[in-house]
Amino acid sequence: MQHSKPSFKSRLPIRASVLLGIGLILYFFLPLFRIVPLKEAREQSAAAAFDPANFAAEFWNDQLQKGAAEAIDVAELLSIFNQDRNAATERYGHRLGLSSNASYFVSGSGRIIRVEKRLIEVAIEGGGVVGIKTGPVFGNAIRDGSGLLDVSDFPNSRDFNAVSAQINRLVEETVFPGLQAKAAIGVTLRFVGGVDVADAETEISRLNLVPVVIEFP
């Protein structure tokens, strides 16, 4: 008995189904376009945008705390300042571009000798007095003093500046509460922080640093 071959017409639905299946598989993996809800598209766009708060938090935890171990001893810095400010800048300072000011990342220990509304004064071991801010933080003392961030790595300076503002917020939220609670004359503490210093022609009465780490022994 001889079976007759299926006709082209009878095989057409099978072929069409196979082609449609292949097409669907290709579309799934390599879509020419994909329709997404507007809300989802906005969320994706926001996720792709730079998040300064997130960047600053990661920088604070991953780089800044490690960098704190390498901060220059503030007593040593003050000693070099008294001899040659330019030499101190060359050796330990960080300048942002063509700035005349320099920023430093410093550490030290000492005893609180004065408590003001937004600042405490500390007599440091090794001689000298520094101020530690306890009020609102402005500027870029930590971002620039740490020397760990480069403006050229950011697509625009707005992001670079937004990171600095977020770092300042972290200081206010995580460092100040503990410091303000225990700040009293006679209390000893260990500190690490950033400080901006004016050019060599400007006389400095006192370094006022922005703290990153405060420890009470």
Span near other proteins by CB under 8 A; candidates 5-13, 66-74, 91-99, 183-191 = 91-99
| Contact (CB, 8 A) for 135 and 102 | no
Q: Name the burial class of residue 190, with classes exposed (0-12), middle (13-18) and buried (19+) by CB atoms within 10 angstroms of its CB.
A: middle
CB of 80 to other proteins, least distance (A): 22
The smaller minimum CB distance to other proteins, of residues 11 and 158, is found at: 158
* In the complex, least distance from residue 69 CB atom to other proteins, rounded to whole angstroms: 27
* Residue 4 near other proteins by CB under 8 A: no
Nearer to other proteins, 163 or 214 (CB): 163
- The residue within the footprint of other proteins, chosen from 99, 118, 182, 215 (CB under 8 A), is 99
Q: Compute the half-sphere exposure of residue 114: CA atoms within 13 Å on the CB side of its CA.
A: 12
From the CB of 130, what's the least distance to other proteins, in Å?
20
Q: Within 13 Å of residue 38, how many CA atoms lie on the same side as its CB?
A: 0
- DSSP H helix total and E strand total for the chain: 9, 6
Is 136 a residue that touches other proteins (CB under 8 A)?
yes
**Contact call for residue 44 and other proteins (CB under 8 A):** no
Checking phi first, is residue 91 left (phi over 0); if not, alpha (psi -120 to 50) or beta?
alpha
C-alpha torsion angle, residues 133, 145, 91, 95 (rounded to 10): -120
Pick out residues in 152-181 that bind other proteins (CB under 8 A): 152, 154-158, 161-162, 164-165, 168
Q: Which is nearer to other proteins, 96 or 129 (CB)?
A: 96
Give the nearer residue to other proteins in terms of CB position, either 45 or 157: 157
Specify whether the CB–CB gap between 166 and 52 falls below 8 A. yes
The only residue of 138, 180, 206, 215 in contact with other proteins, by rule CB under 8 A: 138
Strands 102-115 and 188-197, by their bridges, are antiparallel
How many residues interact with other proteins (rule CB under 8 A)?
22
Task: For residue 136, give both structure tokens.
Answer: 């609102």
With respect to other proteins, which residue has the nearer C-beta, 102 or 189? 102
User: Which parts of this chain interact with other proteins (CB under 8 A)?
Assistant: 96-101, 136, 138-140, 151-152, 154-158, 161-162, 164-165, 168
